[in-house]
Amino acid sequence: MTTPDLPVVEGAQLALISGSAVEELQVLLERCEDFEILVTGHPPGPYAAQALLIDAPPEHPLRDKFVIGAWTDQGLTATVELLRDFPERHVWYLGLLLTAPEARGQGLGSRILAALKSWILSQEGRALRLIVQDQNPAALRFWIRHGFIEIGTATQELMDLTNQVTRLELKL
């Protein structure tokens, strides 16, 4: 399956993040350490960007994983992690939508999400799923505002932290 061109987002240029942008991604992850600490209990490690590019569920091929960057006039300002056909065919999993602290609350995340919904539809995606940790109520409000509905709850076991999470889905 081929990957069509990424969508256009007002005020940002989207591109797949590859090896040449790993350092920029690492800087963004470190600038967003507040999120990492909230979710995992510790700041991102020195290889967090590299791990983001290659970590996927064991049964999921890396060719169906997309780490997308959003570049603005301030450089790499946001990133998105998506898995195609996970956990099942025609369902996409959004593992991360992260925006730099100085760009939050300005609509960039909403514009990225709107563009990605069309892009996912163009690749036969019918639904988008994600989880939100209970300690991140602002994120839950964001996703619900964009039409996601609760489909369940779960416990997320991380190395240093156990999170209660809400599972959300958006039918496309």
pLDDT of amino acid 160:
82
- How high is the mean pLDDT in each 10-residue block of the chain (172 residues)? 76 92 97 95 96 92 94 96 96 97 95 96 96 96 98 91 96 98
pLDDT of amino acid 59:
87
Report pTM. Answer: 0.93
Fold of 13-130: Aminopeptidase (3.40.630)
pLDDT of amino acid 20:
86
Q: How many CA atoms lie within 13 A of 79 on its CB side?
A: 25
Structure tokens at 161: 């932290």
pLDDT of amino acid 22:
96
- Bridge partners for 12 per DSSP: 9
Q: What CA–CA distance (Å, rounded) separates 172 from 156? A: 26
| Strand bridging mode 91-99 / 127-133 | parallel
Q: What CA–CA distance (Å, rounded) separates 81 from 99? A: 12
pLDDT of amino acid 2:
52
Structure tokens at 34: 């507040």
